[in-house]
Structure 1
Amino acid sequence: MQRKNRTSAEPSGSRNASPQHMASLLEGCGVHLTPEQRRQIWTYHQLIREHNPELNLTRIRNFTNMVLKLYADSVIPGRLIELPSPLLDIGTGPGMPGIPLKIVYPHLDVYLAESRRNRIAFLEKVCAALVADHLHVIGQSINRSFEQPMAGVISRAVGRIEDTLDRIHGCLAEDGLAIFMKGPQCDEEIQSAINRFEHGYKLLHNIPYRIPGTPHARRLVVFQRRHAPPGRIKQEAMQRFSTRRIDSEQNEIFRGLKKLLSARGIRKQNQALLSGWKQVTETLRDFPERCVGWISKADNDPPPAGAPDHMVWYQLAPLLFQAIDQFGTHAPLLLITVPPLERWEPPFGFPEGCTVMVPFQDPENVGALIRSAVAFGATQVILLAESAHPYHPKALRASGGAVLRARLLHGPALHEIPADLPIVPLSTHGKNIAQVEFPSAFGLLPGLEGPGIPEGLKAQAVSIPIEAAVESLNAAVAGAIALYVWSSIKADR
């Protein structure tokens, strides 16, 4: 009878199983246990043996392999790096690596995350049997909505690194460690995670190792979080900023925001909506005095730590946010002030360098040409009467934020530009731009979309040679090429 029980507890090849043998194997791996730790690891092993036939906790059944490939492997991270606490073992399964780590490093506050009900019951039984303080079971799946603060997360599961980094978005603390126990062939997986989370995480460690007593190569990959989790940022933001919760489309603030999707609303309110995470981030950094509102979907995505305190945080109901998120970015919008534009008249002439004159009625063309003007070092930009508003959402987006960096002026209508000014008009017919000698101070004038330039300016027009199969270039593209040619000549002088 005793023989039968021993065989069912330890299969063939494991008859040397004992607490002493286990301790000896672990000592060969550099893991030295106190008597109490020996009791705990042996108790854990016995519980796995007892429940494995029913719960399929592990496919490894040989005693030596269990000690080396399960228990010793689980605690190796503690020998390679300093483990943070509290530490969340995500996808713990039968409790690895969390339970062996807790036994060997009793100072750790360890949380075991498992969603399968029968395994939750098993983990709770183990915790009770070990009589260990600060060992907890979280009976749920971990996803972005889980916000209990953790200094570290460790995973021995087979899931991809980038998927796990996404799942712990809500709980891993700023500077917290995401620790992955991976196989040796994980370079592509690491690079994919770096590419996706380059602004949120940095690769801190990439350590190759072997499980002692086995030929198995492993890799310990550790990412460190750069920023605080959204829960903490949200809590701090609620204290720092004045907030406005908006749930009705009849709300006056919402109606005002919606009007900013048109040039008329922008002119009336002297404000504009900026979208796109890169532009929003750069504007907060470089023009904080012009940032007056942070607009998010409900209380998601709070203002970042570096945002100016004078901003108001507008929290829009999802459908309301969707109505003003014109480009479907799903990222927060920035409400900025629009300064009044100085007036330019022909008698003022042009300062040294290139003045770009913009007649475009398409806001995307306006934004694109302003972007080129800033990129190639134009002195100023004059928006003619025909021009779309430079702070129209489409113009702002096309400019990549360059509208805020340009010196903008408001000018007369295209037909009011006198021919005796030093102007370089662009047309499909004219002198080859490669042969043009640009004045030291001049106005670059692309034609209006469709009609082109006025008749009175055609005599001095220059052209950009293109293949006959193409009738003309996009006006903003033609302007960008002309600016490049001018800046190249200027640089060679």
Structure 2
Amino acid sequence: MNKKNVDNFGTRPAPSFNKNSFQGRDNPSEKSMKSILSGCGIHLDDKQARLLWQYHQLLRKFNPDINLTRIHNFSNMVQKLYADSIMPSNFMMLPTPLIDLGTGPGMPGIPLKIVSPDVHIILSESRGKRNDFLRTVISELGLDGIEVLGAGMYPESRIQVNGVITRAVEDIPETLDRISGSLARDGLAIFMKGPECEDEIAKTLRNFKKDYVLEQDTPYVIKGTAHERRLVVFRRVSSPVWQVNIERASELKIKQIESDRNDIFRDLLKLLGGRGIKKAGKTIVSGSKQVFDVLESMPEICEAWITKNDTPPPPDSSPDGMYWFQLAPKLYEELDVFGTKTPLLLVRTPEIEEWNQDAADMGCTLFVPFQDPENVGAVIRSAAAFGVSAVVMLEGSANPYHPKAVRSSGAAVFHVKIYNGPLMENLDADSASGMPIMSLSAEGEDISGYTFPERFGLLAGVEGQGLSDKWRANALSIPINPAVESLNAATSASIALYLWASSTGKK
């Protein structure tokens, strides 16, 4: 932090000055303007004075129609507008490119450009008539390296700059939030403030301590006047999204997708259905918690980070070589079927082996016939929670890696052993392997009194259809209120798994 007073330009308290020292200078002319500025400690060469005078004339010409400034007295215009705009260049080296936020009629941007021609300046102004005025000024003065941004700035703005300067009245923390998407790491946020801004500085240091440090705090008085000012400069120590993108470009393969005819997008759309998942061997994970769980626990299966445009970027822990698909908003919304508005993750699905009943592990093997992917995900979540040995997806069941199944499983689908099994009717209820398969049906034996074998299978009925006669004969039931016809199939299986886990001490 560099807090200093600069004697050349005055310090607080304000020095005495002679009101008569500007006598005769209210007769507007280039000469008198140059004289007033000299009294303020600002010395222009002939070219700079000529350009600033041209600017002044254009400001006076257009002001009645556009209301560019409420200051009309010539001396006041020179001191409070032009001198004030130029002063920051006397206290610091200006960064480039530099955006003048809320420039209005072009201040401080245009006077700064005149005295610092090597600095590329961007004038940010949202009002159309003022933009027209600014373009007229640039053209009439023949200025190079200065442009008009016909818009304001917002957190989602991506105007890649190394500095922002503003003499607007907005609080410092509000402005830092506004420029968060644009100002580069090590870039400077320059605030031209009045003398009493300690509260704003303190609030900024509290709320933005991970993103900014106070680089400079310079109180001063414009020499020859009573105008107390304060130059406050914060240096950014974090990186905006666009800079992260550039830095990570060598690590991640970035692809921008704007058209729904793009082959990558078409392939991604197919992953919203079971057939596409089975054919491609990939699926889409959604929901912030699930995405980061998979990214952290199974980085080797992660293929692509999927976002709307370029925000937010993948975390630093993302595997090298992972793609980053940056989709146009409408395309991203088609993939974000749950409306999470958070990044999606493209992953390879683990290979599903065929079930071998004779090789079943000890404990419980869960057989899943569900056709609703949300039920599949819900029961797999319970299977993981209660420690089943394996989950067997019976023929005709929904794909366990369907996005709906993945989401309802809480990503547990990636943490259990999953196998492909036969049709339900082809299962052997009591094979020579010694693993009985117990089904769940309302007509069965009360499960609360059942003693579970050390090694067994559990089968729930298909949604709506329930079980065939073959499986009803040797079934377990969960007693419920007679007023309720039946339990949800996934819920029934979860209750049975809980009772089994409780009886074996797994719970």
Quickly name the TM-score band, shorter chain normalised. Answer: 0.5 to 0.7
- Alignment equivalent of 2:212, drawn from 198, 204, 209: 204
Query: Which residue in the other structure is 1:387 paired with?
Result: 397
Q: d(CA) in 1 for partners of 2:474 and 2:494?
A: 20
Kept after mapping to 2: 8 A contact 1:68/1:212: no
- Residue by residue over 1:178-206, the C-alpha shift from the partner in whole angstroms, topping out at 9 and shown as x without a partner, is 6778989989x99xx99xxxxxx964359
What is the CA-CA distance between 1:93 and the residue it aligns to?
A: 1.7
Kept after mapping to 1: 8 A contact 2:429/2:438: no
Cα distance, 1:68–1:372 mapped onto 2, change above 3 Å: farther
What is the CA-CA distance between 1:118 and the residue it aligns to?
A: 0.7
What is the CA-CA distance between 1:263 and the residue it aligns to?
A: 2.4
Pair 1:51-2:59 in alignment: yes
Pair 1:229-2:242 in alignment: yes
Aligned length: 453
- Residue by residue over 1:168-226, the C-alpha shift from the partner in whole angstroms, topping out at 9 and shown as x without a partner, is 74x54466566778989989x99xx99xxxxxx96435999997789999998876654
Pair 1:450-2:464 in alignment: yes
- SS in structure 2 opposite 1:229? helix
What is the CA-CA distance between 1:481 and the residue it aligns to?
A: 6.3
- Residue by residue over 1:126-160, the C-alpha shift from the partner in whole angstroms, topping out at 9 and shown as x without a partner, is 896xxxxx962335336799866322344555789
Q: d(CA) in 2 for partners of 1:219 and 1:417?
A: 79
Q: d(CA) in 2 for partners of 1:445 and 1:82?
A: 75
Cα distance, 1:139–1:149 mapped onto 2, change above 3 Å: closer
What is the CA-CA distance between 1:117 and the residue it aligns to?
A: 0.9
- Residue by residue over 1:26-47, the C-alpha shift from the partner in whole angstroms, topping out at 9 and shown as x without a partner, is xxxxxxx7x459x979996995
Q: d(CA) in 1 for partners of 2:134 and 2:348?
A: 56
Query: Which residue in the other structure is 1:117 paired with?
Result: 132
What is the CA-CA distance between 1:411 and the residue it aligns to?
A: 3.1
Structure 2 letter corresponding to 1:388: A
Q: d(CA) in 2 for partners of 1:277 and 1:137?
A: 40
TM-score, reference length from structure 1: 0.61
Map 1:69-108 to 2 at 5 A: 85-98=96-109
- Larger displacement relative to structure 2 (395-404 or 107-116): 107-116
TM-score, reference length from structure 2: 0.60
Map 1:311-322 to 2 at 5 A: none
- Residue by residue over 1:401-425, the C-alpha shift from the partner in whole angstroms, topping out at 9 and shown as x without a partner, is 3323332222344453637857786
- SS in structure 1 opposite 2:475? helix
Q: d(CA) in 2 for partners of 1:426 and 1:208?
A: 73
Pair 1:397-2:412 in alignment: no
Q: d(CA) in 2 for partners of 1:163 and 1:20?
A: 32
Kept after mapping to 1: 8 A contact 2:241/2:312: no
Pair 1:369-2:379 in alignment: yes
Percentage of pairs with the same residue: 36
Map 1:408-447 to 2 at 5 A: 408-414=418-424, 416=427, 418=429, 421=435, 446-447=460-461
Q: Which runs of 5+ in 1 are unaligned?
A: 11-16, 24-32, 129-133, 195-200
Q: d(CA) in 2 for partners of 1:163 and 1:445?
A: 60
What is the CA-CA distance between 1:314 and the residue it aligns to?
A: 7.8
Cα distance, 1:96–1:366 mapped onto 2, change above 3 Å: farther
- Residue by residue over 1:85-144, the C-alpha shift from the partner in whole angstroms, topping out at 9 and shown as x without a partner, is 43222332233454677799998654333461113334666896xxxxx96233533679
Kept after mapping to 1: 8 A contact 2:254/2:325: no
- Alignment equivalent of 1:140, drawn from 150, 171, 174: 150
What is the CA-CA distance between 1:388 and the residue it aligns to?
A: 0.8
Query: Which residue in the other structure is 1:27 paired with?
Result: none
Q: d(CA) in 2 for partners of 1:109 and 1:417?
A: 78
- SS in structure 2 opposite 1:340? coil
Q: Which has the higher contact order (CA 8 A, sep 6+)?
A: 2
- Residue by residue over 1:35-66, the C-alpha shift from the partner in whole angstroms, topping out at 9 and shown as x without a partner, is 459x9799969956972543433345687899
Structure 2 letter corresponding to 1:404: F
Cα distance, 1:400–1:78 mapped onto 2, change above 3 Å: farther
Kept after mapping to 2: 8 A contact 1:230/1:301: no
Cα distance, 1:470–1:228 mapped onto 2, change above 3 Å: same
Q: Which runs of 5+ in 2 are unaligned?
A: 1-21, 30-34, 222-226
Query: Which residue in the other structure is 1:14 paired with?
Result: none
What is the CA-CA distance between 1:382 and the residue it aligns to?
A: 2.7
Kept after mapping to 1: 8 A contact 2:254/2:323: yes
Pair 1:358-2:371 in alignment: no
Structure 2 letter corresponding to 1:204: Y
Pair 1:342-2:356 in alignment: no
Kept after mapping to 1: 8 A contact 2:387/2:506: no
- SS in structure 1 opposite 2:278? helix
Superposed CA RMSD: 6.3
- Residue by residue over 1:392-445, the C-alpha shift from the partner in whole angstroms, topping out at 9 and shown as x without a partner, is 232233334332333222234445363785778666787586x98877766565
